[in-house]
Amino acid sequence: METYQVHITEENNKGKAYIGTNAKPLAAMTYSKAGNDLIIIDHTEVDQSLRGQNIGRQLLDALVAMARNKGIKIMPLCPYAKSVFDKDNSLKDVLK
């Protein structure tokens, strides 16, 4: 499985982890900031060319690492992110 470079960008109260370019990402997981200590993951999208390569998990892992680094929590409203949080107990420390 190939590992891609995941970038994280924030503008105002919105952010995203993405692969590719900011203007045209091949995969992205978007979130909203709720105050200074919570992000809400609301959407995950992966280009057909990258499907089946665990790309969504790579994006989520990047946001989990960011949350741990900043000492913030994550509320996963996106069905994909929620399903990963439900299955993986190692992520519970950042779950809101």
| Mean pLDDT over the full length of the chain | 96
CATH code (residue 54): 3.40.630.30
Based on the structure, what is the number of domains in the chain? Answer: 1
Q: How many CB atoms lie within 10 A of CB 60?
A: 25
Q: What pLDDT score does 3 carry?
A: 79
Rounded CA separation 7/24 (Å)? 12
CA dist 53 to 2, 4, 60, 68, Å? 7, 10, 13, 24
Domain annotation covers residue 85: yes
Average pLDDT over residues 29-43: 97
Average the pLDDT over 24-46 and give the result.
97
Which tens digit of pLDDT belongs to each residue from 49-92?
999 999 999 999 999 999 999 999 999 999 999 999 999 999 99
Q: How many CB atoms lie within 10 A of CB 52?
A: 8
SS3 content of the chain, % helix, strand, coil (to 5): 35, 35, 30
pLDDT at 1 (0 to 100): 61
Instruction: Give the pLDDT confidence score for residue 2 in this predicted structure.
Output: 73
Instruction: Establish if 43 belongs to a structural domain.
Output: yes
Per-residue pLDDT, averaged over 30-55, amounts to: 96
> Is residue 29 in some structural domain?
yes
